[in-house]
Amino acid sequence: MKPGWWIKPAVFTASLIPLCAVIWSVVNGTAGPNPIEAIEKQTGEWSLRFVLLSLAMTPMAQLFKSIWPIKLRRMVGLFAFFYVVVHLLAYVVLDQSMNLTYIFEDILKRPFITAGFVAFLIMVPLTVTSNKYMMNKLGKRWKVLHRTAYLVGVAGVLHYVWLAKGDQLEPLVYLAVLLVLLGYRMTGLIKGR
Ligand code: HEM
């Protein structure tokens, strides 16, 4: 077996733990008085964490001089999409009972929902084109398209910052992480990295 063969299965399994934790808390009644809100919150946060982690993979590969973050980048990005699909389903099916008129109004009227929707829309082509076949087919355009992952980070963080009331610390921590990643990317562009 190749050295490091276990890393991908280990990361895959670890990435499913938050989903198991959400299901477990709902099943055994520890999700709080509003389980739907708890599902929305947990899956939203995990999606954003995976988005930011996927953006951190290239800097990590460069800083630690390791190929592993690059090898894991696609999986981490796909988990961001997986958690956002669960997040969206919780909102559409459980929260809004599939009332599409209301959902459409919500997207137009509430800026934090608009930002989440924009982030989701950008994630769709990124997910569809994340495989080797599309990478080869799109050539140089693939890199340009996948830079929009930063916009997912921006829209995702805005979504969180705008919805948070009162205690604003957590969304601001995500904002700070995003700014560090964007700063690293910008200096990389200047230095030709
Ligand atoms: C159409 C797309 C989306 C819709 C309709 C949506 C809807 C919602 C709603 C209704 C909440 C509030 C839950 C509550 O406090 O009651 C929420 C929270 C959240 N969403 Fe989304 N969302 C969308 C996309 C996204 C995306 C793309 C991300 C991440 C990249 C994301 C991350 C979050 C986070 C971090 C929270 C806050 C969790 C917390 O309060 O701890 N959402 N979303």
pLDDT tens-place string over residues 30-55? 999 999 999 999 999 999 999 999 99
Ligand 1 centroid vs 54 CA: distance in angstroms? 18
Q: What is the pLDDT of residue 157?
A: 98
Q: What is the pLDDT of residue 2?
A: 83
Q: Is 44 in contact with 160 (CB distance < 8 Å)?
A: yes
Ligand 1 centroid vs 160 CA: distance in angstroms? 7
pTM over 0.85: yes
Q: Is 111 in contact with 117 (CB distance < 8 Å)?
A: no
168 has pLDDT over 90? no
